[in-house]
Amino acid sequence: MSYHIMENSSLEIHGTSSVNSFDCDAEVIQEVHNPSTDIQGTGFTMPGVSIVIPVRELDCDNRRMNRDLRDALKADLHPEIRFDVIRIILVPGNEASADTELEPDPSITVEGHLSLAGVTRVVNLEVEGDLDESLRLHGWGSLDLKMTDFDVEPPTALFGLVKARNEITIRFHLIAEVLTGETHK
């Protein structure tokens, strides 16, 4: 069964500077979905599944901040932030449900390659997940990063008087639904 990410999904980058905090929302979240799944114990590999954020679609509600963020992320050379799924590990919840093959409330770890500003690192996302009554998958969580781990110099403004702190948090709530024409098995 193939899913696609719905428009009401959200992803934001949260950070702080020497004077305030900031949030930049992803206006567009794209997916590349050509999975080849291989079940392995309590997890499975999923090459071919990626989340892509066009850097120019990040909106910080401030034109100057948007420009500084795009410059810091080297948007002209590296126009995307990309997360390529390597493996998903499910640890079953406490109770099994008789009408589903999946364990309820599993602990989910998604391992993948995060590419940002031309640098790729392996990261692990702890994800909470749920399947709603319309068979839409919900996954939410957050990831703390240091910009310098991706060779990104924290942006500055006003001749260095205002400086973004190195630590940022990426928060997400992705909602995926079955691609049209497929049925639930």
Q: Which CATH number goes with the domain that contains 113?
A: 2.40.128.110
What is the overall mean pLDDT for the chain?
78
Neighbours of 1 (CB within 10 A): 10
Phi-psi category of residue 117: left, alpha or beta, with phi > 0 → left and psi -120 to 50 → alpha? left
Distance CA 124, CA 88 (A): 10
Average pLDDT score over residue span 38-50? 55
Average confidence (pLDDT) over 136-162: 81
The answer to whether residue 185 sits within a structural domain is: no
pLDDT at 151 over 80: yes
Q: Are strands 80-91 and 43-45 parallel, antiparallel or unpaired?
A: antiparallel
The count of structural domains within the chain is 1
Considering the domain boundaries, does residue 84 fall inside one?
Answer: yes
Residue 117 domain-assigned?
yes
The answer to whether position 23 is within a domain reads yes
Specify the pLDDT at position 113: 93
Per-residue pLDDT band for 51 (boundaries 50, 70, 90) equals confident
pTM, two decimals, is 0.77
Quote the pLDDT of residue 142. Answer: 93
- Position 105 scores a pLDDT of 60
Whether residue 183 lies inside any domain: the answer is no
Q: Indicate whether 54 pLDDT > 60.
A: yes
Dihedral angle sign, alpha carbons of residues 11, 53, 176, 1: negative
pLDDT of 120: 95
Has residue 180 got a pLDDT over 70?
A: no
Summarize the confidence of residues 21-38 as an average pLDDT: 72
Range of the domain at 16: 3-178
**pLDDT level of residue 161 (50, 70, 90 thresholds):** low
Whether residue 103 lies inside any domain: the answer is yes
